[in-house]
Amino acid sequence: MEQQTLRTTDILISGGGVAGLTAAAAFGAAGFTTICVDPQPPVTAEGEAGADMRTTAFLHPSRAVLERAGLWARLAPYAAPLQIMRIIDAGGAEPVARLTRDFDAADLSDEPFGWNFPNWLLRREMVARLAELPLVDFRPGVATTGLVSRESGAEVTLSDGSRVRARLVVAADGRNSFIREAAGIPVKTTRYGQKALAFAVTHPLPHNDVSTEIHRSGGPFTLIPLPDRDGLHSSAVVWMERGAEAERLAALPVPEFEAAMTARSTGLLGPLTLVTRRSVWPMMTQIAARFAAERVALIAEAAHVIPPIGAQGLNMSLADLSCLLGLAEKDPAHLGEAAMLAAYTRRRWPEVKAREIGIDFLNRASMVEPRPLRDLRAGVLGALYSLKPVRRTLMRAGLGVR
Ligand SMILES: Cc1cc2nc3c(=O)[nH]c(=O)nc-3n(C[C@H](O)[C@H](O)[C@H](O)COP(=O)(O)OP(=O)(O)OC[C@H]3O[C@@H](n4cnc5c(N)ncnc54)[C@H](O)[C@@H]3O)c2cc1C
């Protein structure tokens, strides 16, 4: 009977979001038997209900993780490169650009900063990759519902009544992680009363591989390059505003919304046309008190949530994965044991905390309403940018390279 089934595996991954699917491909490709479960079957087409309208800009260091997982070759044909990160301050009396500064990847190397992809497309290619990996058992429609851990291993109960004994449980089950709670790991959460709208647009002027963050008040308005769409130039947009304003914007009739977003974009790419639905995401900063418990490792949003500034979120998650995989491969005989998990928390937690502090500061600076503070923000940006070593250090820190 199903109730009595007990499977053993090296790794059980709770959660098949972008982070969990990447982890399953990475561990499976590295020779670990891996089961990945998620109650929500992945939505793999843009037009389907529940499709994730966000995009992910994978920064340079993430490509190595995707390559090792056998994912990069599948994704590369759909990549929109990010060559320049442009920051515009439009915090003056009128909503127009008053300070523009370009961070060019060419100052660091021959490669772009990163590559942007729609999240629904990532899911499609990742699920297809898992089907090629004999060591991976992906089970959509199934949740983790129980966790009992011992020094020798963890036993996880699944919503279909089956049980799995794993040497390591990887929690990739999002900001309300079941595994994190079952393991008794508390979180510290800061809410901003702010929401992000995520959608795609087309526009008459080319983006020229420039990702642009425009600051006025309420939070940044970011245009991120996408490949052309039906012969038209296209970008993804993340528009952060105070909660009530974001809800108002999300409910506006399309022509009014298009006029509002074109004005907020300072008209940079010409009139913007909405080509997908608008999805709304509450903004928060959240960090788990530690990233591991007995036989359990937290990765991605189960471990940390930050506002989408500087394309950090999922890139931090792939850095979690890279660290965990490196430790697992270095000493596979002791997978999931206390020393390995202590090393994981020791390496990742301080790095994540530092990034969380930085992003929290940038978000608060972008939200400011009073004019004197907006003027100060523009002044600080101009001053930091004018110092070349500082500019290079900021770029390298943003990428997560030393
Ligand atoms: C508007 C916006 C734009 C962003 N842009 C970027 C960007 O450009 N670059 C970047 O790096 N990051 C970006 N991020 C952040 C990034 O999208 C997130 O970090 C990432 O999607 C979170 O992935 P995840 O897999 O941890 O969580 P989720 O996508 O939430 O996945 C968690 C999964 O766990 C499953 N689950 C829940 N409970 C259980 C259970 N009991 N058992 C099994 N499974 C379970 C859920 O069904 C879900 O599929 C952005 C975020 C937002 C809000």
Question: Mapped to the 3 state alphabet, what secondary structure does the chain carry?
Answer: CHHHCEEEEEEEEECCCHHHHHHHHHHHHCCCCEEEEECCCCCCCCCCCCCCCCEEEEEHHHHHHHHHCCCHHHHHHHCEEECEEEEEECCCCCCCCCEEEEEEHHHCCCCCCEEEEEHHHHHHHHHHHHHHCCCEEEEECCCEEEEEEECCEEEEEECCCCEEEEEEEEECCCCCCHHHHHCCCCEEEEEEEEEEEEEEEEECCCCCCEEEEEECCCCCEEEEEEEEECCEEEEEEEEEEEHHHHHHHHHCCHHHHHHHHHHHCCCECECCEECCCCEEEEEEEEEECCCEECCEEECHHHCEECCCCCCCHHHHHHHHHHHHHHHHHHCHHHCCCHHHHHHHHHHHHHHHHHHHHHHHHHHHHHHCCCHHHHHHHHHHHHHHHHCHHHHHHHHHHHHCCC
The two structure tokens encoding residue 113: 């900063």
- Tell me how far apart the terminal alpha carbons of the chain are, to the nearest angstrom: 53
Atom of ligand 1 nearest to the CA of 40: 47
∠ CA 197-198-200, nearest 5°, is: 130
Superfamily of domain 6-74+117-189+284-363: FAD/NAD(P)-binding domain (3.50.50.60)
- 19 CB less than 6 Å from ligand 1? yes
| Predicted pLDDT at 158 | 98
| Ligand 1 binding pocket mutation candidate from 38, 120, 235, 287 (most atoms within 8 A of CB) | 38
**Residue 169 token pair:** 């449980």
pLDDT score at 35: 98
The Cα 380–Cα 343 span in angstroms is: 37
- Give the model's pLDDT for residue 44: 87
Strands 99-104 and 114-118: unpaired
Rounded CA-CA distance 319/386 in Å is 30
Separation between Cα atoms, residue 399 and residue 402, nearest integer Å: 9
User: 1 C-alpha vs ligand 1 centroid, how far in Å?
Assistant: 34
Tokens 């990532």 found at = 122
Q: What's the rounded Cα separation, in Å, for the pair 162 and 7?
A: 8
Ligand 1 nearest-atom number relative to CA 283: 53
The residue to mutate among 156, 212, 314, having the most atoms of ligand 1 within 8 angstroms of its beta carbon, is: 314
- CATH class of the domain at 79-116+192-283: alpha beta
d(CA 326, CA 64): 12
CA 252 to mean position of chain CA atoms: 27
- Let me know if the fold of 6-74+117-189+284-363 is the same as that of 79-116+192-283: no
Tokens of 194: 């702010």
Torsion of CA 343, 346, 352, 353, to 10 degrees: 170
Report, as ranges of residue numbers, the positions in the chain whose pLDDT lies below 50: 1-2
Tell me, rounded to whole angstroms, the distance of Cα 191 from its chain centroid: 18
Q: Where are the domains of the chain?
A: 6-74+117-189+284-363, 79-116+192-283
CB of 190 shorter than 6 A to ligand 1: no
Q: Are 10 and 23 in contact (CB under 8 A)?
A: no
Q: Is 158 in the pocket of ligand 1 (CB under 6 A)?
A: no
169 lines ligand 1 (CB under 6 A): no
Mutate to test the pocket of ligand 1, among 36, 53, 56, 130 (most ligand atoms within 8 A of CB): 56
Candidates 317, 321, 323; CA nearest to 304 is 317
